[in-house]
C-alpha cells in the first residue's frame, strides 16, 4: 500500500468515521451514508490539510470515489515530482 493511499485512507476515516476501514477502498457517494456535497467539501479540505496541497475547484467534480481521489493524488504527486 502506497504512502498516499494510507494517508488518503486516514482522511476518509476522519470524514466518514462510521465507514469500516476495509470498505474505504470501495467508497463512493452512493454506498457511503452521509457522502453529500458538504462531506465532499470537508473531504477536500482534509486532503488539502493533510497533504499540504491546493485542489483546484474544477477538479473537485471528479472526486466521485475513493479510487478517483487516489488516482488524482497519485497523478498530482507524479506531476509535482
Strand, helix or coil for residue 17: coil
The interface mask with another protein, positions 5-44, x = CB under 8 A, is: -----xx--xx-x--------------------x--xx--
46 is a site residue for another protein (CB under 8 A): yes
How many whole angstroms separate alpha carbon 14 and alpha carbon 57?
21
How many whole angstroms separate alpha carbon 31 and alpha carbon 33?
6
Diameter over CA atoms, the chain? 35
Query: Closer to another protein at the Cβ: 60 or 70?
Result: 60
For another protein, the binding residues (CB under 8 A) are 10-11, 14-15, 17, 38, 41-42, 45-46, 49-50, 54, 57, 60
Amino acid at each position: 500500500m502506497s504512502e498516499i493511499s494510507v494517508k488518503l485512507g486516514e482522511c476518509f476515516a476522519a470524514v466518514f468515521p462510521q465507514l469500516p476501514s476495509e470498505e474505504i477502498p470501495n467508497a463512493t457517494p452512493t454506498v457511503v451514508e452521509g457522502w453529500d456535497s458538504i462531506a465532499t467539501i470537508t473531504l477536500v479540505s482534509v486532503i488539502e490539510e493533510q497533504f499540504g496541497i491546493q485542489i483546484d475547484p474544477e477538479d473537485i467534480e471528479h472526486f466521485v470515489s475513493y479510487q478517483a481521489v487516489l488516482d488524482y493524488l497519485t497523478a498530482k504527486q507524479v506531476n509535482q515530482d
